Amino acid sequence: MLKTFSLGGIHPPENKFSAGKKIEALPVPSQVAIPVAQHIGAPAAPIVKKGDTVKVGTLIAKSTGFVSANIHSPVSGTVFKIDNIVDASGYRKPAIIIKVEGDEWEEGIDRSTALKKEISATSEEIIKAVADAGIVGMGGATFPSHVKLSVPPGKKCDVLILNAVECEPYLTADHQLMMEKGDEIMVGTQIIMKALKVDKAIIGIENNKPDAIQHMRSLAASYAGITIEPLKVQYPQGGEKQLIDACINRQIPSGKLPIEVGAVVQNVGTILAVYEAVQKNKPLFERVVTVTGKSLAKPSNFLARIGTPLNNLIDAAGGLPEDTGKVIGGGPMMGKALVSTDIPITKGSSGVLIMPDEEAKRKPMQNCIRCAKCTEVCPMGLEPFLLMTVSDKAVWDRAEEEHIMDCIECGSCSFTCPANRPLLDYIRLGKGKVGQIMRSRNK
Amino acid sequence: MSTLTISPSPHVHSGDSVKKNMYGVIIALIPALLISFYNFGLGALVVSVTAVASCLVFEHVIQVYLMKNETSIWDGSAMITGLLLAFNIPSNLPIYIIVIGALVSIGIGKMSFGGLGNNPFNPALVGRVFLLISYPVQMTSWPRPERIPFTYTDVTTGATPLSVMKEALANGELPTNILNEIPSYRDMFLGLQGGSAGEMAGLAILLGLGFMLFRKIITWHIPVAVIGSVFVFTGILHWTNPMMYAPPMFHILSGGLFLGAVFMATDYSSSPMSRKGGIIFGIGIGVLTVAIRIFGAYPEGISFAILIMNAFVPLIDKYIKPKRFGEKPVVAK
């Protein structure tokens, strides 16, 4: 039997319309807007000013701490201004706006497509290269990657797990990357293995991508220490905790990180970025984005420069359909509803989902009938109905006692609730408040 | 394009609804309903229609005129209460008593707590127990399952296997002798025994259970815990003294055990939220049912057992938690 995680889980309809669509390089836009906060942690500090000329790959904003990431120009041209723009959060945040002139790359970036298998960099050099290249978790969480690779003293990593699960319905970017860049991902995996000093890597792929499983398996045969683990299709298997549980049957204790159980998890897109950074000296300034939706004319997988307006991607996918009711950055389960299509894509943009109006609206909430389905599907073994109630009634000590902070916000509870109760909305509110209380207590 | 909808994730829903679950239960009740029509003819029909109709009317009136809300009679839950009430009373019960039962079920058992999902006790059982206490004579004289259609106020009444057993044991008869005087296990399983309208046919109720498990409306935990614990407890008693206690198969197949275990104990609102809690709840019901049947004043005890355990649900929910992620010790290398 196929492995999967041990508690809860759901199986939302998949709708992978863009599956099998070749990754298409999107034309460079005429202007890009690069938010300085594209990662979890402190925003980067701009080091260019208005009027500066930049090339593709020029460092334009510097990491401001350990949990922060460099930002490089995805285009060549002139810095037009540094100003606040509306980003995916819906708030106005600082961004570097660049007018594009030509497509001139920094020297030193190896633009050839030849596979470079030889890994000459040492562990320290790899971690430095990853930090320099501004690589963050590209599955959507955008956690700076060099932090994960720097194993804290006293801890030991014995296995690297690659997240190729892509359990979000609709999204296909990682799937297509494996089909087209399998060898690069293999070398990237070995680079990370070297950085972490481990000899074992497991690539977890859900069983709804049999071609990717087969392809990666055949490639893995010629790379030492890499195995493929086909997994039962079950959401949210792409969650770090769930993936580690599924692949190696170890459960991370409450409030702890994967390194606690000797594992480091990286998304396959991130691994490709690592390969390019270490072997080709290429910073992270472009990524694969799935643009999809039921009424979209041409669901696609695009390779787009960071900062490209969403509108460009949607136009290339056939234009915004008449019946559009919601535009989601990411997948339907964990993605964010966007306030407009006039925002730039960032390092964490795994997909853009166009949802028809009829599906966009929520149904009115009814009384909880205590069917316990939310409890059954919760992958963290929590009781969402209870967390919603205590959050609604602002009983924060009880919320903490009931482990509200363990919630990974996968949305399985809200998805399942027959009474259409917005369980996760309330739990998020509760998490925010309880987090605040916990932080002030620790001060 | 109209304006974009902004709402937090998740942006998709399973499509499951309260209605789907409730009507699923109603479909699951149909086999038992058909058996009761077959057994008691017009009487069962009159009782069912009266109970369901008055439950709907009371729910509508209370919801719309007292609580000033939209009517909730189409969500299916009042229909279930009506059907379950009908299944719990003799099929020759006078109509006015049924209406009173429905008023107590819906008015006190359900709406006084705030309606669907808020009732701590099973509404149909609240009504049933109220009637049992208020109209003990009418509530304990059952028509024989003669399969004579189109009779309603049938005068030929008979006892249920449970009451025969209780009385005869009290008179010092041996269980084995009594078993010869009542329907065989096979007949009891098929529903050819005395009792309330819909409670007597084990097979029909198991069909309903199968449907509800298949549609994932309920899980197996509560029904199995109730029936299993009754089997084990009566088995132990019978084993220690077969001269005094009837065999476990008799207890499982007689009375309202199946109906209670499958349709009443599993009521969402009044049962525990965790599976572990459900098992504890079920065992409590099983043990109390047997205790009342054998040591109590009433021949049947499942209604009281469920209501008593309903009261323990908040306690069970507080202390019995689902297994949490990360509790299992980490496999260290």
Could B9 and A366 be called an inter-chain contact, meaning their C-beta atoms sit closer than 8 Å? no
Q: Quickly state the pLDDT bin for B154 (edges 50, 70, 90).
A: very low
Q: Is residue B5 part of a domain?
A: no
Could A372 and B274 be called an inter-chain contact, meaning their C-beta atoms sit closer than 8 Å? yes
Of B84, B110, B138, which residue sits at a domain end?
Answer: B138
Residues B90 and B233 both lie in one domain: no
Nearest-CA distance from A323 to chain B in Å? 7
Q: Which string of b and e fits B89-126 if b means at least 16 CB within 10 Å? A: bbbbbeeebbbbbbbbbbbbbbbebebbbbbebbbbbb
Nearest-CA distance from A266 to chain B in Å? 21
Residues B268 and B192 both lie in one domain: yes
Could A370 and B117 be called an inter-chain contact, meaning their C-beta atoms sit closer than 8 Å? yes
- Measure CB to CB from residue A418 to each of B16, B271, B330 and give the nearest one: B16
Q: Is residue B145 part of a domain?
A: no
Residue to test with chain A: of B3, B7, B13, B75, most A Cβ within 10 A: B13
Q: Residue-wise pLDDT tens for chain A (443 aa)?
A: 889 998 999 999 889 999 888 999 999 999 999 999 999 889 999 999 999 999 999 999 999 988 999 999 999 999 999 999 988 888 899 999 999 998 999 999 999 888 998 899 999 999 999 999 999 999 878 999 999 999 998 899 999 999 999 989 999 999 999 999 999 999 999 999 999 999 999 999 999 999 999 999 999 999 989 999 999 999 999 999 999 999 999 999 998 999 999 999 999 999 999 999 999 999 999 999 999 999 999 999 999 999 999 999 999 999 999 888 899 999 999 999 999 898 999 999 999 999 998 888 889 999 999 999 999 999 999 999 999 999 999 999 999 999 999 999 999 999 999 999 999 999 999 999 999 999 998 87
Residues B126 and B172 both lie in one domain: no
Of B138, B170, B197, which residue sits at a domain end?
Answer: B138
Residue to test with chain B: of A365, A371, A385, A408, most B Cβ within 10 A: A371
Could A380 and B11 be called an inter-chain contact, meaning their C-beta atoms sit closer than 8 Å? no
Name the closest residue on chain A to residue B2, using Cα atoms. A325
- For residue A273, the Cα-to-chain-centroid distance in whole angstroms is 13
Could A169 and B12 be called an inter-chain contact, meaning their C-beta atoms sit closer than 8 Å? yes
| Residue B199 neighbours by CB distance under 10 Å | 29
Could A415 and B13 be called an inter-chain contact, meaning their C-beta atoms sit closer than 8 Å? yes
Burial of A328 (0-12, 13-18, 19+ CB in 10 A): buried
Could A406 and B16 be called an inter-chain contact, meaning their C-beta atoms sit closer than 8 Å? no
**Can you name the residues that pair with A25 across neighbouring β-strands?**
A303
CATH of A27-106+285-359, one of 1.20.1250.20, 3.40.50.10490, 3.40.50.300, 3.10.20.600: 3.10.20.600
Nearest-CA distance from B218 to chain A in Å? 8
- pLDDT for res B153: 46
Name the closest residue on chain B to residue A360, using Cα atoms. B5
Q: Is residue B195 part of a domain?
A: yes
Q: Is residue B150 part of a domain?
A: no
Quote the DSSP letter at residue B66. I
Nearest-CA distance from A341 to chain B in Å? 10
**Number of H helices and number of E strands within chain A?**
13, 17
Q: Is residue B7 part of a domain?
A: no
Name the closest residue on chain A to residue B327, using Cα atoms. A253
CA distance B38 to A129: 80
Q: Is residue B1 part of a domain?
A: no
Q: Is residue B84 part of a domain?
A: yes
A424 interaction partners in chain B (CB closer than 8 Å): 8-10
Could B269 and A254 be called an inter-chain contact, meaning their C-beta atoms sit closer than 8 Å? no
Nearest-CA distance from B190 to chain A in Å? 30
Q: pLDDT tens digits for B250-296?
A: 899 888 899 999 999 999 999 999 999 999 999 999 999 999 998 88
Nearest-CA distance from B114 to chain A in Å? 9
| B141 Ramachandran zone, left/alpha/beta (phi>0; psi -120 to 50) | beta
Residues B115 and B264 both lie in one domain: no
Could B6 and A367 be called an inter-chain contact, meaning their C-beta atoms sit closer than 8 Å? no
- Output the known binding site of A for [4Fe-4S] cluster: 368, 371, 374, 378, 407, 410, 413, 417
Using alpha carbons, select from A382, A369, A359, A358 the residue that is nearest to residue A417.
A369
Residues B63 and B179 both lie in one domain: no
A249 interaction partners in chain B (CB closer than 8 Å): 331
Name the closest residue on chain B to residue A319, using Cα atoms. B1
Q: pLDDT tens digits for B12-44?
A: 999 999 999 999 999 999 999 988 888 787 888
**Residues A309 and A342: beta-carbon distance below 8 Å:** yes
Domain boundaries, chain A: 27-106+285-359, 123-280, 373-442
Tell me whether strands A159-163 and A201-206 are parallel, antiparallel or unpaired: parallel
Residues B169 and B27 both lie in one domain: no
**Residues A341 and A310: beta-carbon distance below 8 Å:** yes
- pLDDT for res A31: 94
**Complex ipTM value:** 0.87
Q: Give SS3 for A63.
A: coil
CA distance A203 to A162: 5
Residue to test with chain B: of A252, A310, A311, A369, most B Cβ within 10 A: A369
Using alpha carbons, select from A211, A173, A233, A166 the residue that is nearest to residue A21.
A173
Tell me whether strands A45-46 and A59-62 are parallel, antiparallel or unpaired: antiparallel
* Residue range(s) defining the domain that contains residue B260: 155-319
- Measure CB to CB from residue A367 to each of B117, B326, B331 and give the nearest one: B117
**Number of structural domains, chain B?**
2
**Residues B245 and B289: beta-carbon distance below 8 Å:** no
Nearest-CA distance from B328 to chain A in Å? 7
Q: Is residue B146 part of a domain?
A: no
Residues B175 and B281 both lie in one domain: yes
Residues B308 and B274 both lie in one domain: yes
Interface of chain B against chain A, CB under 8 Å? 1-2, 4-14, 16-18, 20-21, 114-118, 219, 268-269, 271, 273-275, 321-328, 330-333
- Measure CB to CB from residue A320 to each of B1, B6, B14 and give the nearest one: B1
Is 3.40.50.11540 the CATH number for A123-280?
yes
Could A355 and B322 be called an inter-chain contact, meaning their C-beta atoms sit closer than 8 Å? no
Could A337 and B8 be called an inter-chain contact, meaning their C-beta atoms sit closer than 8 Å? yes
- pLDDT for res A358: 87
State both tokens at A270: 């991130």
To which H or E segment does residue A72 belong? strand A71-72
- Measure CB to CB from residue A339 to each of B4, B115, B269 and give the nearest one: B4
End-to-end CA distance of chain B: 56
Nearest-CA distance from B304 to chain A in Å? 22
Residues B110 and B174 both lie in one domain: no
CB pairs under 8 A between A and B: 172
CA distance A156 to A158: 6
Residues B212 and B302 both lie in one domain: yes
- For residue B153, the Cα-to-chain-centroid distance in whole angstroms is 25
A363 interaction partners in chain B (CB closer than 8 Å): 13
Residues B134 and B174 both lie in one domain: no
B271 interaction partners in chain A (CB closer than 8 Å): 370
Could A418 and B12 be called an inter-chain contact, meaning their C-beta atoms sit closer than 8 Å? no
Domains A27-106+285-359 and A123-280 share a fold: no
Residues B170 and B127 both lie in one domain: no
Q: Residue B10 pLDDT more than 70? A: yes
Of B82, B106, B138, which residue sits at a domain end?
Answer: B138
